[in-house]
Amino acid sequence: MEVLAGTILDLRRRIFELLPPDAEVTRIEFEGPRIAIYTRNPGAFIADEERLIKDIVKTIKKRIVVRSDPSVRMPQHLAEQLIREAVPSEAGIRRIHFNSEVGEVEIEAEKPGYVIGKGGETRREIFRRTGWHPRILRAPAIQSPTVAEVRELFRARADDRLRLLRSVGERIFRVKLFENEYVRIVGLGGFQEVGRSAILVQTPESQILLDAGVKPLSGGEEYPFFEAPEFDVEKLDAVVVTHSHLDHCGSLPYLFKFGYRGPVYMTEPTLYLTKLVLEDYLRVAQKEGRPLPYSERDIATALLHTYTLSYGEVTDIAPDVKLTLYRSGHILGGAIVHLHIGEGLVNIVYTGDFKFQHTLMLDAADYRFPRLELLIMEATYSGKDDVLPHRDEAFKQLVSIVDETLKRNGVVLVPVLAVGRAQEVLLALRMAMEGGLLPQVPIFIEGMIDEVNAIHTVFPEYLNATVSEMIFRKVNPFTAPNVHILKGEEREEVVEARPCIILATSGMLTGGPVMEYLKLLAEDERSSLVFVSYQVEGTLGRKILQGLKEVSFVDSRGRVEIRELKMQVHRVEGFSGHSDRRELISYLRRATPTPKKVILNHSERSKVKAFARGLERMFPNIEFYVPENLESVRAV
C-alpha cells in the first residue's frame, strides 16, 4: 500500500513534532477513525494531557488516543488491586476486565463518577500508576441481559474488533484519488413514504449509507432498494444508524448477510436498543410463521462491526467525510447526522426522526450546527391537519380516557413501540398516579418493554433532568410497585384483573403480544384501545383508525378467527416523538445556519408534496426537493 504509507508517514511526522521530548513513543497506529499513540512514558502525556491532545487534534484534525506500551503495564492482578484501592467503595465496581491488545482496563461501576474522580483525577491516577488506560462503563440499575451480552461480545471478540478497526483506519486515511467534486444523494427507501429509511450519500471517493430500515406491513415487510445499480455493499465505507426503530435499523443485518463488513456508527444507547429490537423482530416473525429475512448470527455480525459515538464527537468515516451526531429528541439515543464533506465542500444534516419540542423524557432536537448547506428533514406530520395538541393537553386527554375506562371497569389497551412511546406513556401514567389524577391500578407491560426500561437506566445523561432525577432519587417510574412485567403466560388472567392498563407491542398492530390482547378484548364495549403513535398506511392500526369494524386473527397454525371490534377506539396524538407541522416549520426557521437546499422525506406522498409547495412560498431563498426513492439530488 504505497499511497497509504505516504499518509501514515506524513501524519506520524506531524504528530512527532508536537510531542514532548520525553514522550517515548513506540508506535503510532490507525484504529478506525482514531489514531492510537503508544508510549513508554504515559506520565509525559498525563502531566499536560488535555493541552497536548488538544494541540495534536487541532493540528492533524484527527482524534487520538494515548495507550501505554506493553512493557510499562503493571501485571493484571496488581493493577486490579491498585484500582480497588484507588476507587472509593461508593463507586460500586461490578467488574474489572483487562484488554491487553490495546492496554485498556474496563471498569464497570454503578456510579462511574467515583471512578472518574474530580476533574478526572482518579482516572488519570489509574493510568499513571498501572499503565492501563481506564475505560469506564455504567452498570444498569435494573438487570439488563442485552447490555451484558453486548459487553460480553465485545470483550470476547476484542481482537477481532481491533483488527477491524485497523483495516477501517486504513480505508479512512487512504489518499484521495479523485479530482471531480460532487455529492449525490439517493433515497433507497423512505422517500414519499414512511418506512424502510435508507439514504445513500455518494462522493467520487466514498459511499455512506444513512439508516437501513424496513417498512412494517401487516404480516411482512418491505426492504429498501438495495438492488439499485448505484448501491454496492463492497464499495460502502460506512453505515450510520440514527435510531433503533425498525424503519431505520431493521435491514442492517441484511447488509451483513449480503457481505458488508465495514463499520456501523451509532450512539451507545442505540447499540443496545438495536440489538434488542432486531432480535425481537426475528422472534416475532418466527412465532408468526413468517420467513426470516436474516439470522441471529447476522445480527451478531452487525453488532461486532458497530462503533459508538457520543453526541458532538467529530469522527472521520471516509477520506473526505467527517461525521458528528446531535440530539434528535425522538427516542433514547436518537441522533441527527451531520456530515462534513471535502475540506469545506458541503455540509449535510439528516434529521432522522426528530422532535423539536421537549418531551417528558428528552430534551428537544439540536438545531445549531457549525455549517449547513443541505438539510434532509423528516416530514411525517406535515399534513394540513397534522398540528398535534400540546403535550399537556395530550396528557389530560390520556388521563381522561383512562379514567373513564377504569370507572366502567374496562381495560385500557395501548399498542406501543417498545422504544420511546412505551416509556413516555408509562411516565405519563406514573406521573398522573403520583399526582392523584388516576387510581394506582396495575399497569401490565409486555413485549420487551422492561428490557428497554433497563437500558434507559444506563444512560441518565441522555434523559432530561426530571426523569434522571426520578430514576435515581425518587420512585423509579420503570420499577414502581404497580408496574408488572409479563412474559406472555397469563394473558387471560390479566384481562380479568380489571380495571387495569396494558401496554404491549407492536405499536401499529402488525404482530406481537398486543394482538393477543386485542383478540381477548375486541368485543368488550367497556374497554378502550388507545393509539399513541403514528400508524403507517397498510397497517391494521391505520385501518382501525379509518373505521374498520371487524378484525381477523390468524394463529400460528393458519386458522382464522374473526372478532367484531366493539371496544372504544381513541387516538391521543400529543405523545408523538415526531415534530408536528408547526414544529417542522419552526425548525426550518431556526436551523442555524440556514440551509440552501432542503430535501423532505419520511412522509406520505400527497402530504409531503403539498407541504413543499407551501414551504416554497414561506422560504423563497431555500430550494425544496421531494424526490421519490431512487431519484437523486445533488448537494454539490
Which positions touch Zn ion (CB under 5 A)?
245, 247, 353
Pick between residue 247 and residue 320 the one whose CB is nearest to Zn ion: 247
User: Shortest Cβ distance from residue 275 to Zn ion (Å)?
Assistant: 17
Do residues 160 and 609 make contact, with C-beta atoms less than 8 angstroms apart?
Answer: no
Nearer to Zn ion, 245 or 526 (CB): 245
In the chain the first and final C-alpha atoms are separated, in Å, by: 31
Pairwise CA distance, residues 328 & 267, whole Å = 12
Q: Report the residue number, 147 or 417, with the smaller CB distance to Zn ion.
A: 417
What is the number of other CB atoms lying within 10 angstroms of the CB of residue 238? 25
499 versus 541: smaller Cβ distance to Zn ion: 541
Minimum CB separation from Zn ion for residue 351, in Å? 10
Q: Which residues of 278-315 are buried (b: 16+ CB within 10 A; e: fewer)?
A: bbbbbebbeebeeeebbeeebbbbbbbbbbbbebeebb
Pairing of strands 335-341, 321-327: antiparallel
Q: How far is the CB of 100 from Zn ion (least distance, A)?
A: 40
Q: What are phi and psi of 544, to 5 degrees?
A: -65, -40
**CA angle, 110 as apex, 143 and 469 as ends, to 5°?**
90
| Residue entry with cell 438539510 | 375
**354 contacts 328 by C-beta, under 8 angstroms:** yes
231: alpha, beta or left, given left = phi > 0 and alpha = psi -120 to 50? beta
Q: Which is nearer to Zn ion, 402 or 608 (CB)?
A: 608
Other C-beta atoms lying within 10 Å of the C-beta of residue 509? 22
For residues 245, 247, 252, 254, the Cα torsion angle rounded to the nearest 10 degrees is 140
For Zn ion, the closer CB: 205 or 247 = 247
The nearer residue to Zn ion, 161 or 245, going by C-beta atoms, is 245
- Tell me the β-bridge partners of 349: 338, 375
Q: Which residues on adjacent β-strands are paired with residue 31? A: 34
Closest approach, Cβ 215 to Zn ion, in A, equals 10
Name the helix (H) or strand (E) containing 46: helix 42-46
Q: Which is nearer to Zn ion, 247 or 268 (CB)?
A: 247
Number of alpha helices (DSSP H) and beta strands (DSSP E) in the chain: 21, 30
Q: Which three cell numbers stand for residue 9?
A: 508517514
Cβ distance to Zn ion smaller for residue 237 or 378: 378
Residue number with CB closer to Zn ion (158 or 241): 241
Separation of alpha carbons 30 and 168, rounded Å? 8
CB of 623 to Zn ion, least distance (A): 24
- Residue 29 or 353 with smaller CB distance to Zn ion: 353
Question: Which residue, 273, 251, 265, 252, is CA-closest to 146?
Answer: 273
Minimum Å distance from CB 193 to Zn ion? 11
CB of 535 to Zn ion, least distance (A): 13
Nearer of residues 116 and 599 to Zn ion, judged by Cβ: 599
User: What's the rounded Cα separation, in Å, for the pair 353 and 492?
Assistant: 36
Which DSSP string do the residues of 147-196 spell out, in sequence order?
HHHHHHHHHHTHHHHHHHHHHHHHHHTSPP-------EEEEEESSSSSS-
The least distance separating Zn ion from the CB of residue 505, rounded to whole angstroms, comes to 14
Instruction: Tell me whether residue 266 or residue 480 sits nearer to Zn ion (CB atom).
Output: 266
Closest approach of Cβ 276 to Zn ion, in Å?
15
Shortest Å, Cβ 578 to Zn ion: 8
Which cell numbers in the block locate residue 88? 472509593
Cα torsion 406, 498, 541, 561: sign: negative
Nearer to Zn ion, 171 or 245 (CB): 245
DSSP symbols for 257-296: HTT--S-EEE-HHHHHHHHHHHHHHHHHHHHTTPPPSS-H
Asked if 379 and 614 touch (Cβ cutoff 8 Å), the reply is no
- For the CB of residue 245, give the shortest distance to Zn ion in the complex, in Å: 4
Closest CA to 136 of 111, 112, 160, 120: 112
CB of 417 to Zn ion, least distance (A): 8
Min dist. Cβ of residue 361 to Zn ion (A): 14
Please state, as a whole number, how many other Cβ atoms lie within 10 Å of the Cβ of residue 526. Answer: 18
Min separation Cβ 331 and Zn ion, Å? 6
Q: Which is nearer to Zn ion, 305 or 421 (CB)?
A: 421
Q: Minimum distance between the CB of residue 610 and Zn ion, rounded to whole angstroms?
A: 20
